[in-house]
Amino acid sequence: MSGQGRVRATSKQASRDTHTGYYFAVIALGNFFGPLLLGPLFDTVGRVPMISATCIGSGGLLFVTAWLFARGR
């Protein structure tokens, strides 16, 4: 089977086995509510501290997610 055929077969199988739509919904909600909730903080706290805080917070959440996946949860 060619490379593209394998990708199609794998993606069809994966789409039946996962709940990808839920992940897209959570990302969409985060993209909608994130600016609404964080926007005022950028005005009051300042741009540089907020960019630093969001990058550090994002890295921390990524670390926790990787740790949970490594534990099998």
DSSP letters for 11-30: HHHHHHH--HHHHHHHHHHH
The verdict on pTM exceeding 0.75 is no
User: Nearest 5 degrees, angle CA 72-CA 23-CA 18?
Assistant: 65
| Cβ neighbours for 9, distance < 8 A, ≥ 6 positions apart | 1
pLDDT, one tens digit per residue, over 2-33 is 555 555 555 555 556 677 888 899 999 999 99
Angle, CA of 56, 60 and 48, to the nearest 5°? 10
- CA gap 13, 8 in Å, rounded: 9
Average predicted confidence (pLDDT) for the chain: 83
